[in-house]
């Protein structure tokens, strides 16, 4: 492990958050910004026959963009990010969810309240159960309504008072292209955007496999397992709870075929 990584992991352990700079290029940031905006507009159209998305707590959140665009699928296992997640969560973990968060100027966001990402859970856990990682697609600072986090709050087993949260919560400064990591048990919220421009982050939450995923990812993928064993694990195919006997057997059958193919390939060498 290099010195830079050790520094960031130490900050994450003690403070509950850290920022790794220059993870995405300017071209990648521009591409994500364009694509995430398009996906959110599409999701508004999808829900329009049922309800107005903008009138709900789902306003300005683009859910599971990797289902809509393979560009986001590739970001799930970004090579700069994965070594950090493996150090924090061990060799076996899953994707809880990937979401785009758009914070509009002078608009209240549903994430603008103090919360933990493991909702309704108040306990101390070491090592961590879950890590959230935001790709900063625009600059994060106080003016743009950056995420505010309460340092060390992942180390207390009860919710602090509103007065404490407001007094000690700080805005996280991070340039576009950075990766902002925080312990999912850290209290945090979206800030107020006064910049005149939309602030965008792409959230990835990774958890121990014992936690339920935000959505049934194998079902979203129509139970089609990727060939890569790491992606099978990450997407939850090894820890998924089947919803019927046939699907349970289909997953086991496909896994068996892959094991046989791998064994045969090894024997042929």
pLDDT given at position 228: 92
pLDDT at 16 over 70: yes
Domains and CATH numbers, the chain: 3-219 (2.60.120.620)
* 228 C-beta neighbours (distance < 10 Å), count: 11
pLDDT digits (tens, 9 = 90+) for 188-218: 999 999 999 999 999 999 999 999 899 999 8
pLDDT at 177 over 90: yes
Q: Phi first, then psi: what are they for 45, rounded to 5°?
A: -65, -40
- The percentage of residues in the chain with a pLDDT greater than 70, rounded to a whole number, is 99
141-159 average pLDDT score: 95
- The percentage of residues in the chain with a pLDDT greater than 90, rounded to a whole number, is 77
pLDDT digits (tens, 9 = 90+) for 95-138: 999 999 999 998 889 888 999 998 888 888 889 999 999 999 99
pLDDT at 29 over 70: yes
Distance from CA of residue 133 to its chain's centroid? Answer: 5
253-263 average pLDDT score: 79
The answer, as to whether pTM is greater than 0.85, is: yes
pLDDT at 263 over 70: yes
Q: Give the residue among 174, 192, 172, 127 at the shortest CA–CA distance from 154.
A: 127
Q: Give the residue among 217, 187, 160 at the shortest CA–CA distance from 16.
A: 187
Calpha distance 17→141 (Å, rounded) = 15
**Residues 154, 16 contacting (CB under 8 angstroms):** yes
pLDDT digits (tens, 9 = 90+) for 226-256: 989 999 999 998 888 877 888 778 877 877 8
pLDDT given at position 120: 80
DSSP class of 80? T
Calpha distance 111→60 (Å, rounded) = 10
pLDDT given at position 269: 62
20-32 average pLDDT score: 97
Q: What is the mean pLDDT of the chain?
A: 92
* Contacting residues for 154 by C-beta, under 8 A, at least 6 apart: 16, 124, 128, 183, 184, 185, 186
């Amino acid at each position: 492990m290099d010195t830079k990584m050790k520094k960031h992991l130490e900050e994450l352990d003690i403070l509950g958050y850290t920022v790794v700079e220059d993870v995405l290029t300017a071209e990648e940031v521009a591409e994500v910004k364009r694509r995430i905006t398009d996906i959110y507009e599409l999701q508004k159209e999808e829900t329009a026959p049922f309800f107005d998305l903008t009138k709900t707590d789902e306003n300005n959140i683009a859910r599971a963009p990797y289902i809509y665009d393979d560009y986001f699928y590739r970001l799930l296992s970004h090579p700069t990010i994965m070594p950090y997640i493996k150090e924090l969560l061990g060799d076996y973990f899953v994707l809880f969810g990937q979401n785009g968060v758009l914070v509009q100027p002078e608009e209240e966001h549903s994430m603008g309240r103090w919360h933990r990402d493991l909702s309704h859970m108040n306990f101390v856990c070491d090592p961590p159960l879950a890590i959230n990682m935001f790709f900063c697609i625009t600059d994060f600072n106080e003016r743009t309504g950056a995420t505010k986090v309460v340092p060390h709050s992942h180390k207390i087993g009860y919710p602090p008072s509103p007065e404490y949260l407001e007094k000690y919560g700080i805005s996280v400064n991070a340039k576009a292209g950075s990766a902002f990591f925080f312990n999912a048990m850290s209290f945090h919220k979206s800030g107020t955007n006064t910049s005149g421009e939309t602030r965008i982050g792409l959230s990835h939450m990774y958890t121990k496999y014992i936690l339920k995923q935000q959505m049934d990812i194998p079902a979203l993928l129509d139970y089609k397992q990727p060939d890569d064993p790491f992606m099978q694990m990450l997407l939850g195919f090894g820890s998924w709870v089947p919803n019927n006997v046939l699907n349970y057997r289909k997953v086991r059958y496909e896994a068996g075929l892959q094991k046989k193919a791998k064994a045969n390939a090894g024997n042929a060498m």
